[in-house]
Structure 1
Amino acid sequence: MANDQTKKKNSITQPRNLATLLSVLVPGLGQIYNRRILKGLILLIVALSFLVTTWDYLDIGIWGLFTLGTIPKEHHSIQLLLQGLISLIVLFVGIVIYIYNIVDARKGAIAREEGKPNPTLIKAITNFYDRGFPYFMVLPGLIMLIFIVVLPLLFMVALAFTDYNQYNAPPRNLLNWVGFDNFVDLVNIDIWKDTFFSVFAWTIVWTVVATSLQIVLGFFLALLVNDKRIKFKRTIRTVLILPWAVPAFVSILIFSALFNPTFGAINRDILSTFEIMIPWLSDPFWAKVALIMIQTWLGFPFVFALFTGVLQSVPADMYEAADVDGGSRWQKLRHITVPHVLFATAPLLIMQYAGNFNNFNIIYLFNEGNPAVRGQNAGGTDILISWVYKLTFQTNNYNMAAAITIIMGVLVMGFAFYQFRKTAAFKEEGGRY
């Protein structure tokens, strides 16, 4: 009895296993075995076309990705690296098609075992239109995304593990894979270590202080304008939004001139009245203070506009209930206004912090990250992103720039992910994500 059941089970599972094996050996052969001739031929033609058209490219690409070339001045390591990364993407697409071929053949065999008829050509086209048409329409955009976004990111990550710098650049020299040496150098070699920790500390201070000030100022002004006793609200809102209406790079250049210690209006016309002259551009501390004030000025209008709209949506009956219970202004602000505002705006506020962490424009346009600091290869006001720019375009330290960029990306993604997870706006009812 047991043997009969085993034979019956083997006879049931044999077609699906055979179809799977045939698809593993030759793409499309499993579909042909399942009597889906047209689909099997299409998959076979696609597989053969893929191999014929990409074999040589993949061969050279994978070889170049591992070796980065073997003959100086003849092999270009950067070109080989790019070809290798593209080869990986193309190979991944081929593997996806190959896996689809195997899974489809097995599903077809199972349907055949259950006595289900094979779909006709018209039925197959209809199923593709219903299920696959959206994916087919998204495909061009996805391909562009891969080569415009994913490929540059992979290239940047790869550079962080090479020795590509101003003293070792192709085609004169070949690049080498150096593992995590660049990351180790950031915390071991004195000039890199001192610069990295100094710039990193200032980046954190800059992000937290400048962003927090613009949020606090925007929230404070939004509370004032939202007060029922305030008149001419439209005019006041228009005036407070004006800094946002002016292009940021224009405002930054104007502020750079205003803060000039020699001919700037702040020193010459305002502080000179009190016999004070502050070196805004030549002293790192005062340059940082100026940058924080400028960013507060540039950033608060957006926060003000955001909070103004949210404050008008707070239900009035909540404040009336608080008045009945004898709640003070501070208690209403703390327990009603602030939670309601944060619930609605927390994701955008998080993006404000992330944006300022990589706010290259203001640092570069104000004073290009200067003044210089003794013993460091970054300026006194450089943040990580502006330092990466200098390492890339001024000193050609591409490997270190890529390593720092990876660290920046990990920090921003980690901070944003953690804060989004903690934000009530991203929680489902019942406290689950």
Structure 2
Amino acid sequence: MEHPVNKKNEKKPRLKQHNPRIAMILSILFAGLGQLYNRRYLKGSIFIIIQLSFLITSLDSINFGLWGLRTLGTIPGTDHSIRLLVLGVLSLIVTVIAITLYIFNVIDARKQAIKIQQGWKPLKFKETAREVYNYAFPYLMTLPGLLLMIFVVIFPLLFSILLAFTNYDLYNSPPRNLVDWVGLDNFKSLVTVPIWQNTFFSVFSWTVVWTVVATTLQISVGFFLAVLVNDTRVKFKRLIRTILILPWAVPSFVTILIFAAMFNDDFGTINRDLIIPLIGGEGIAWLSDPLYARIAIILIQTWLGFPFIFALITGILQSISSDWYEAADMDGASRFQKFRNITFPHVMFATAPLLIMQYASNFNNFNIIYLFNEGGPPVRGQNAGGTDILISWVYKLTFDTNNYAMAAVISIIMGLIVSGFAFYQFRKTRAFKEEGEI
């Protein structure tokens, strides 16, 4: 007697007459035809509608946008180069999206044809809807956010990058004048033209010093105070912690403006009530001497930044088990050894990503530079002030001198530095690794 054959073990009949190559060719000729060949009528209809809509409504606009992106206009006074650049970037983004959908249509048609050839039967509408809900739901929900990111983040980024390869400045401003593509000339000028070269290397070096010194100092002060207050011998911990967090409660711009008045060369309380009574003379030129101005903003940033570090590390210290310290005491470890082998590694493991972001944040800390003394004082032979960092210099180039192209060049350099540094540090940080990789 023959045993019944288990349906799961039955081999599906192969449909040799269904050719994946035909499905792929049809999808190449027109999006959706391959899906219709595969009897996926709903999906094929959607692809056909998308391509027809694209050809009817967007093809002429995209052609015009790509022409404007290539030429930036040909008739001064009529063609607006920046508008053409904007339309060109939008056209480029839409074209990339359309090409991506077109390639997906071809790949999908071929894969479906191969499955049908191997015996797979297309699902019914209800089953298809259920499958789409189960597997495509996350992608459908993230699609609006992806589109928003494309036009809110990627579009301005592409526009600023392309702007760096033009001569868009005060003397080449549309619509009176056209903007031209100049290739790498702006990048070359930044390191070869004396005024640009001197300013760039001076501002860049100070930006690095500012970032490293100010951030390290605020982290060190916050770390030291957190460890100190967490000591079991310290009393009134709540009161001390409340007092140390108060600078964080005051809006930073208010604090900066108050400190700017206190450091004023003429009537500031630091000169009038501290420096002059102690050492005499006319006091220190906090706002008119680049060196002292830099020292002042580093001290101000330390005051502004240490409360966050203090609060952050205080919370981490509470999570360290006292058993570890008791075991270290039994082994005869000193306070420094307990700090080096227990406290410091634990805190750094938990806070390293946030501490890294402190460096990235201070690298682009525009508020304190501009609010304290607008990046001053002036420096001879440079078009940036003595305390200007790259971000404040970009602001001045954009709004004071209208040198948009050079500002875009510097913005690209800033972006590459910050992203490269952050990427390298995050890759090396254990807190960003998966559990199985540690």
TM-score for both structures, normalised by structure 1? 0.95
2:251 is matched with which residue? 247
Deviation, structure 1 residue 194: 0.2
The structure 1 residue matched to 2:387, chosen from 381, 397, 422, is 381
Q: Is the 8 A contact 2:161 2:412 kept in 1?
A: yes
1:3 is matched with which residue? none
2:211 is matched with which residue? 207
Deviation, structure 1 residue 248: 0.2
| 2:297 aligned with 1:295 | no
1:109 is matched with which residue? 113
Equivalent residues in 2 for 1:296-311 (5 A)? 296-311=302-317
* Structure 2 Cα separation of the partners of residues 163 and 314 of structure 1: 57
The structure 2 residue matched to 1:368, chosen from 368, 374, 379, is 374
* Structure 2 Cα separation of the partners of residues 119 and 216 of structure 1: 63
| 2:112 aligned with 1:82 | no
Q: Which moved more, 1:115-124 or 1:395-404?
A: 115-124
1:185 is matched with which residue? 189
Deviation, structure 1 residue 131: 2.0
The structure 2 residue matched to 1:234, chosen from 238, 244, 253, is 238
Deviation, structure 1 residue 218: 0.3
- Amino acid of the structure 2 residue aligned with 1:285: L
2:362 is matched with which residue? 356
- Amino acid of the structure 2 residue aligned with 1:364: Y
The structure 2 residue matched to 1:408, chosen from 394, 409, 414, is 414
| 2:96 aligned with 1:92 | yes
The structure 2 residue matched to 1:31, chosen from 32, 35, 51, is 35
| 2:321 aligned with 1:315 | yes
Gaps of 5+ in 1: 1-10
Equivalent residues in 2 for 1:116-265 (5 A)? 116-265=120-269
Q: Which moved more, 1:62-71 or 1:116-125?
A: 116-125
* Structure 1 Cα separation of the partners of residues 46 and 216 of structure 2: 59
Give the root-mean-square deviation of aligned CA atoms: 1.5
1:340 is matched with which residue? 346
Deviation, structure 1 residue 333: 1.1
| 2:48 aligned with 1:44 | yes
* Structure 2 Cα separation of the partners of residues 33 and 427 of structure 1: 46
- Amino acid of the structure 2 residue aligned with 1:241: I
The structure 2 residue matched to 1:324, chosen from 305, 327, 330, is 330
- Amino acid of the structure 1 residue aligned with 2:311: A
Deviation, structure 1 residue 429: 4.8
Q: Which moved more, 1:223-232 or 1:40-49?
A: 40-49
| 2:60 aligned with 1:56 | yes
* Structure 1 Cα separation of the partners of residues 341 and 40 of structure 2: 66
Deviation, structure 1 residue 427: 2.8
Q: Secondary structure at the match of 1:222?
A: helix
- Amino acid of the structure 2 residue aligned with 1:161: F
Q: Give structure 1 regions of 4+ aligned residues with deviation exceeding 3 angstroms.
A: 11-14, 428-432
Q: From the superposition, tell whether residues 333 and 159 of structure 1 become closer, same or farther in structure 2 (CA, over 3 Å).
A: same
Q: Secondary structure at the match of 2:385?
A: coil
Size of the aligned set, in residue pairs, is: 423
Q: State the percentage of identical aligned residues.
A: 64
Q: Is the 8 A contact 2:369 2:392 kept in 1?
A: yes
Q: Which moved more, 1:95-104 or 1:379-388?
A: 95-104
1:7 is matched with which residue? none
Deviation, structure 1 residue 136: 2.1
* Structure 1 Cα separation of the partners of residues 175 and 26 of structure 2: 46
Deviation, structure 1 residue 35: 2.0
Deviation, structure 1 residue 328: 1.2
* Structure 2 Cα separation of the partners of residues 311 and 154 of structure 1: 44
Deviation, structure 1 residue 12: 4.3
Deviation, structure 1 residue 271: 1.4
* Structure 2 Cα separation of the partners of residues 347 and 45 of structure 1: 46
Deviation, structure 1 residue 132: 2.1
Q: Which moved more, 1:366-375 or 1:335-344?
A: 335-344
Q: Is the 8 A contact 2:89 2:158 kept in 1?
A: yes
Deviation, structure 1 residue 36: 2.2
CA-to-partner distance for each residue in 1:381-414, whole Å, 9 max, x for gaps? 0000000000000001101000000000000011
TM-score for both structures, normalised by structure 2? 0.94
CA-to-partner distance for each residue in 1:112-132, whole Å, 9 max, x for gaps? 111221111112222222222
* Structure 2 Cα separation of the partners of residues 242 and 39 of structure 1: 60
Equivalent residues in 2 for 1:387-426 (5 A)? 387-426=393-432
CA-to-partner distance for each residue in 1:217-274, whole Å, 9 max, x for gaps? 0011001100001111000000000000000000000000000011111111121211
Q: Secondary structure at the match of 1:105?
A: helix
Deviation, structure 1 residue 431: 4.9
1:5 is matched with which residue? none
